């Protein structure tokens, strides 16, 4: 019997130059997004996070915090995903690669629109975490 379930993903809020790096998606769904992607079979989440940052931003990252796990079945219009979201610090200057049409660094006041998936909510949690030191906890 085959088990069907949600797909596991990772996202990394990459801190760089006093802001965060976001990508403009090359593929649907459109919009700006926290860089990330699917975890490969046999891969640890933290290894997938580092790999995805090399592929999408061309940078190595140090993962400094686990922000949370986001699992709303409606978070991704392509199907049910569960994302482990990290906070990371980049070594180097991000540039668009892989699925990214563009990359830019934003501050809270300059966030672009539209944001893909549930990334507006995740970024709200991130900015609250940075301001208060408190993790968002389960929704």
* Stretch 94-123: mean pLDDT: 92
Could you give the C-alpha distances from 133 to 12, 71, 89, 93, 125, in angstroms and in order? 18, 22, 17, 26, 11
The sign of the dihedral angle between the CA atoms of 78, 84, 87, 91 is negative
Query: Are 85 and 10 a contacting pair, CB within 8 Å?
Result: yes
Cβ atoms of 98 and 60 within 8 Å: the answer is no
Q: Please determine, for residue 139, whether its predicted confidence score (pLDDT) is greater than 90.
A: no
| Domains of the chain, each with CATH number or no CATH | 7-132 (3.90.79.10)
Tens of pLDDT, residues 65-92: 999 999 999 999 999 999 999 999 998 8
């Amino acid at each position: 019997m085959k088990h069907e379930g949600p797909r596991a993903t990772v996202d990394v809020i990459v801190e760089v130059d006093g802001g965060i790096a976001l990508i403009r998606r090359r593929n649907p769904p459109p919009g700006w997004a926290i860089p990330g992607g699917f975890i490969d079979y046999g891969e640890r989440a933290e290894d997938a996070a580092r790999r995805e940052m090399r592929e999408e931003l061309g940078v190595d990252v140090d993962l400094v915090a686990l922000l949370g796990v986001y699992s709303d079945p409606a978070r991704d219009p392509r199907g049910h995903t569960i994302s482990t979201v990290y906070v990371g610090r980049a070594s180097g200057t991000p540039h668009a690669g892989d699925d990214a049409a563009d990359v830019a660094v934003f501050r809270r006041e300059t966030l672009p629109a539209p944001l893909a998936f549930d990334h507006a909510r995740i970024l709200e949690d991130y900015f609250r975490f940075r301001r208060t030191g408190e993790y968002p906890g389960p929704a």
